[in-house]
Chains A and B, each alone.
Chain A
């Protein structure tokens, strides 16, 4: 089955700097790659997603890139703000499999 590895497990950045979180997946049939943000004690919320027919997608300060050949995808957050502090999860799924999540990255933005 699908296996998703996520790095780093923790990340601290200064406010205004960029943050990058990387994930790799194992199933070449995976075609959908969402990113979720989870604040303490809250539900995971979708922040951006990308499908396998696209190499990059941006939404304001957030961007995701996908390299299908290398089977990895990354989340980029620019101009980080304290409210970006949370746990971020990457995930992958194919047409026949449900979402498999990485173990998460705890991002701390230091003011």
Chain B
């Protein structure tokens, strides 16, 4: 158990809908990262938050947004869902200052299926 908690574990929704994925980082970790993993694909970095502030942005679609709350949990919002958004979404956290060069620990992921 990495200490990173993600909910829901599985989610099936229809095209055009909106979903919210939730992540609680390890106790004491200030940084939260979101990654997307499609079938047979690597881990695509979406976005990073550090202590409530956006720190880095990767290949995140405009239909997607995220935030980190004062209690440090984070939510990833996916809207106007398309079939191609079906993927495993991972949250990860790290304990350092939010800069790179840090070990990150992954949650179990949220499986999203868009039908």
Binding-face segment, B16-24, B69-77, B78-86, B98-106: B98-106
Q: Are B106 and A44 in contact (CB under 8 A)?
A: yes
What is the bound-complex CA distance between A61 and B41, given in angstroms?
27
Q: Are A99 and B109 in contact (CB under 8 A)?
A: no
What is the bound-complex CA distance between A90 and B43, given in angstroms?
10
Q: Are B103 and A49 in contact (CB under 8 A)?
A: yes
Q: Mark B29-67, 1 if CB is under 8 A from A, else 0.
A: 000010100000111110010000001101000000000
Q: How large is the interface on A (under 10, 10 to 19, 20 to 34, 35 or more residues)?
A: 20 to 34
Q: Output the nearest chain A residue to B56 by Cβ-Cβ distance.
A: A98
- Tally of contacts, chain A with chain B, CB under 8 A: 58
In the assembled complex, how far is the CB of residue A7 from the closest CB belonging to chain B, in whole angstroms?
13
Q: How large is the interface on B (under 10, 10 to 19, 20 to 34, 35 or more residues)?
A: 20 to 34
Residues of B within 8 A of A44 (CB): 43, 90, 106
Q: Are B101 and A51 in contact (CB under 8 A)?
A: yes
In the assembled complex, how far is the CB of residue B4 from the closest CB belonging to chain A, in whole angstroms?
8
Q: Output the nearest chain B residue to A102 by Cβ-Cβ distance.
A: B42
Most buried by B among A46, A99, A104: A99
15 CB < 8 A contacts A-B: A32-B100, A32-B101, A32-B102, A43-B106, A43-B109, A44-B43, A44-B90, A89-B42, A93-B101, A94-B101, A98-B100, A99-B45, A99-B104, A101-B35, A103-B41
Q: Which residues of B contact A (CB under 8 A)?
A: 2, 33, 35, 41-45, 48, 55-56, 58, 90, 99-109
Q: Please list the 6 inter-chain residue pairs (A to B) with the smallest Cβ-Cβ separation, ordered nearest first.
A: A93-B100, A32-B101, A103-B42, A43-B106, A101-B43, A97-B100
